C-alpha cells in the first residue's frame, strides 16, 4: 500500500482564514509551507480509499493527481471517516454529482450524515457502510481496515454543556490498515493513550498520530484563545503523559499529522520541532508519501 498525506493540518488548515498568529502569517507570506485539512489517501493495486474527506478535498485531489478513471467517475472507491468533525466530513458535500463510492463510518458518525443536505450524496450511488468496531472490512480489495475506539469527544457542533472529553465508543476511532504484510495505524484525534490502546499499537510499521497541540496550552501561549488541548479532545505531544513519552517504547516510523496552526512545531527552527525529531518523530506535510 502507498499512503499520501493529502492534508496534514487540523481543522482550519494553515493559514486559517481568521488567524493572524505567527504560523498563519508565515504561511500566508510563503515563509513556511501552507497545509490543507486532515485527509490521507491509501492506494493499493491502483485502487484508492480516502481516510476522511476534508473541506479542501477538491484541491487535494488535484494536487496529488487523483483523477477520474474515464469521462465520469470517482477517482476513489471509498471514504472512511474517523469522527464527525467538520474537517473530516465537510468534503463529502463536494463529492456530489452522482458518481459511486462508499462511505464507511460507525453508526454514530453515519447518523450525522442523516440530514437533508447530505442527500446530495444520493444513497443509490453513495453507499453508507456501517463500521463495527474491531471488525475488519475491505474498502478496496486487499486493504484490510479495522476501526477501534480511542478516547475522544463528540464533534464540537454536537456538544451540549460540558462534554466527556475522553469518551470511548463510536464517536472517535483509530484505523488499523493492513496489506501485503504491513501495518499502519491512523489516529488523527486522540485524547489519551490508556494501556489497552498502547498494547494494540506495538506491531505497527507506521503510526500516523494526532499532532494537534504541542502542549495543552498552545492556544493560550499563542494568544489565539483559551481552549486547552484536553478540552478539544486532543492530547499534547509533550509532557509526561504526552504522545511522545507514551509511545517512546514503540518501533516503526512515527508521524504527527492533524497539526493545528497554533502548534510551535510548524516553525522550522523551533526547539519543539527539534525535540520531536530527536524523539524519532516526523511532522507530516501536504503531499508526503509513505510506503510502509
Ligand atoms: C478538532 O479536531 O478538534 C476539530 O476539527 C475542531 C473543529 O471542528 O474545529
Ligand atoms: Mn479535527
Ligand atoms: Zn494561526
> What are the pLDDT digits (tens) for 249-268?
999 999 999 999 999 999 99
Percentage of the chain lying above the pLDDT 90 cut: 99
CATH of the domain at 94: 3.60.15.10
Q: pLDDT, tens digit, for every residue of 17-50? A: 999 999 999 999 999 999 999 999 999 999 999 9
Ligand that lies nearest to the alpha carbon of residue 7, given by its number in the listed order: 2
Please name the residue ranges forming H helices in the chain: 22-28, 57-63, 86-89, 107-112, 195-199, 218-222, 229-232, 243-246, 271-278
Closest CA to 131 of 119, 143, 145: 145
Q: How far is CA 263 from CA 112, 175, 176, 203, 249, in A?
A: 29, 24, 26, 28, 24
Containing structural domain, residue 52: 2-290
Q: What is the pLDDT of residue 287?
A: 98
Ligand 1: nearest atom to the Cα of 88: 5
User: Which protein residue has the closest C-alpha to ligand 1 atom 9?
Assistant: 11
> What is the number of structural domains in the chain?
1
Q: pLDDT, tens digit, for every residue of 167-192? A: 999 999 999 999 999 999 999 999 99
Q: Which of 36, 53, 55, 87 to mutate to test the pocket of ligand 1 (most atoms within 8 A of CB)?
A: 87
Q: pTM of the entire structure? A: 0.98
Q: What is the pLDDT of residue 227?
A: 97
Segment 200-228 mean pLDDT: 97
Q: What is the pLDDT of residue 111?
A: 98
User: Which protein residue has the closest C-alpha to ligand 1 atom 1?
Assistant: 11
Q: What is the pLDDT of residue 232?
A: 98
Is 219 strand, coil or helix? helix
Q: What is the pLDDT of residue 26?
A: 98
Q: Which of 86, 171, 210, 231 to mutate to test the pocket of ligand 1 (most atoms within 8 A of CB)?
A: 86
Q: What is the pLDDT of residue 73?
A: 97
CB 79, CB 61: distance < 8 Å: no
User: Which protein residue has the closest C-alpha to ligand 1 atom 7?
Assistant: 11
Does ligand 1 come within 6 angstroms of the Cβ of 11?
yes
- Ligand 1: centre distance to CA 86 (Å): 7
Strands 126-130 and 101-105: parallel
Closest CA to 19 of 40, 35, 6: 35
- Ligand 3: centre distance to CA 214 (Å): 14
- Ligand 1: centre distance to CA 263 (Å): 14
Amino acid at each position: 500500500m502507498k499512503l499520501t498525506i493529502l492534508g496534514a493540518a487540523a481543522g482550519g488548515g494553515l493559514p486559517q482564514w481568521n488567524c493572524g498568529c505567527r504560523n498563519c502569517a508565515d504561511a500566508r507570506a510563503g515563509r513556511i509551507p501552507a497545509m490543507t485539512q486532515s485527509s490521507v489517501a491509501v492506494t493499493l493495486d491502483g485502487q484508492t480509499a480516502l481516510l476522511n474527506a476534508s473541506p479542501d478535498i477538491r484541491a487535494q485531489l488535484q494536487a496529488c493527481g487523483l483523477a477520474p478513471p474515464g469521462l465520469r467517475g470517482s477517482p476513489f472507491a471509498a471514504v472512511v471517516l474517523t469522527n464527525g468533525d467538520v474537517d473530516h466530513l465537510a468534503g463529502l458535500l463536494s463529492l456530489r454529482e452522482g458518481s459511486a463510492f462508499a462511505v464507511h463510518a460507525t453508526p454514530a458518525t453515519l447518523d450525522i450524515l442523516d440530514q437533508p443536505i447530505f442527500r446530495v450524496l444520493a444513497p443509490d450511488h453513495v453507499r453508507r457502510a456501517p463500521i463495527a468496531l474491531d471488525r475488519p472490512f475491505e474498502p478496496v480489495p486487499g486493504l484490510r481496515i479495522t476501526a477501534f475506539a480511542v478516547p475522544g469527544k463528540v464533534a464540537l457542533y454536537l456538544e451540549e454543556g460540558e462534554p466527556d472529553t475522553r469518551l470511548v465508543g463510536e464517536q472517535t476511532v483509530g484505523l488499523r490498515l493492513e496489506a501485503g504484510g504491513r501495518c499502519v495505524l491512523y489516529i488523527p484525534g486522540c485524547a489519551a493513550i490508556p494501556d489497552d490502546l498502547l498494547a494494540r499499537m506495538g506491531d505497527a510499521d507506521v503510526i500516523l498520530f494526532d499532532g494537534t497541540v504541542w502542549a495543552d496550552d498552545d492556544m493560550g501561549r499563542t494568544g489565539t484563545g483559551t481552549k486547552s488541548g484536553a478540552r478539544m479532545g486532543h492530547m499534547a505531544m509533550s509532557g509526561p503523559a504526552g504522545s511522545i513519552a507514551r509511545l517512546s517504547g514503540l518501533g516503526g516510523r512515527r508521524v504527527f499529522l492533524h497539526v493545528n496552526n497554533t502548534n510551535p512545531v510548524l516553525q522550522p527552527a523551533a526547539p519543539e520541532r527539534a525535540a520531536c525529531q530527536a524523539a524519532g518523530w516526523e511532522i507530516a506535510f501536504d503531499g508526503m508519501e509513505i510506503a510502509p
